[in-house]
Amino acid sequence: MSADSVLHIENLGHSYGKFKVIEDISLSIGKGEMSALIGPNGAGKTTFYNAISGKFKPSKGKVFLNGEDITGLPSHRIVNKGMCRSFQITNIFAELTVAENVFSPLVIQQNKHFRLHGNVFKDRQITEKAMHTLEQVGLSDRADQAVSTLAYGDKRLVEMALVLVRGPTVVLLDEPTAGMNPEETENMISLIRKLAKNSKTTFFITEHDMKVVFSLAEKIYVLHQGLLLAQGKPQDIRANEQVQEAYLGRKTHA
């Protein structure tokens, strides 16, 4: 494990019964890097994310966050150690307002979630941080709206805000532009790029849209049938014959 690796994964594998969804994945992500995980449908990207983010315990292998073994820890403990994630299917608090959505992770982070008195709306430690994040993602003018009334693209932004508001060291984004129209996609990409440039946060994203991946990532990992097929800089991945065959090639012929 290199000294500056923030997220280090060793021989990770997960199977449902006899069916191996992911197998023997090892990778190391450096601090502040912007990496992407790609692969065709069913390659095991979401399973990989779930296994490292504590949704379930992987059947094999180890996951290290900042050098600390976090394998199989429940999700809330992994989040408290500084790794937050978004979901492919929008996963927010639908009937709460945008502000309340963003307050919630802060209440927990500041260890106020067992406080039975006081008002979050009057807690400046929370409201100021929340407003800062909402300004970052461009939702500050909608803070008091119920998120159920927002347009789809804005809901995805709430999801981003929920991930970012705690100031995590590692951010996992599972298809951040899934289901978005071209304009919303554009908007999301420039947001991610801006965030990556301005912070020391390490981003690790999965993405369907190759345009997004190649325009964002400094390093790309290719997952194919549960195995790590290749890794490298975007131009190397583009030139890699195996990858072309397994993935990119099929796309261009289609």
Partner 1 sequence: MMNIQKSHSLSGPVLLTILLFIAPLVMPTYWVILLSEILIMGLMAVSFNLLLGYTGLLSFGQGAFFGIGAYSAALMLQAGHENLFLILLAGMLVPLLAALVVGFFSVRLDEIFFAMITLGFGMLFFSIAHSWIDVTGGSDGLPVFALPGLNLFGVVQLTFYAPISMYYLIFVTVLICVCLLRMIVHSPFGLILKAMRENKQRVSYAGGNVRVLRIAAFAISGAFTGLAGVLFCLFNNMATPEFMHWSFSAKPVIMSVIGGTGVFLGPLFGAGVFFILEQIIIQFTENWMFFLGIVLVPIVLFFPEGVFGTLRNKFYKVAGRGLQPPSARGKRQKNEKGTV
- Given the rule CB under 8 A, which residues bind partner 1? 53, 74-76, 79-80, 84-85, 91-97, 99-101, 103-105, 107-109, 112-123, 127, 131, 140-151, 153-154, 162, 166, 183-184, 187
Task: Give least dist CB 71 to partner 1, A.
Answer: 17
- Beta-carbon contacts of 225 under 8 Å, excluding residues fewer than 6 positions away, are 43, 44
Residue 7 vs 162, nearer CB to partner 1: 162
Nearer to partner 1, 57 or 76 (CB): 76
Shorter beta-carbon distance to partner 1: residue 166 or 224: 166
* Nearer residue to partner 1 within complex by CB, 170 or 222: 170
The token pair at 59 is 């059947």
Q: Shortest Cβ distance from residue 182 to partner 1 (Å)?
A: 12
Rounded least distance, CB 211 to partner 1, Å: 19
Between 42 and 121, CB nearer to partner 1: 121
User: Measured from the CB of residue 113, what is the shortest distance to partner 1 in angstroms?
Assistant: 5
- Please report how close the Cβ of residue 92 comes to partner 1 at its closest, in angstroms: 6
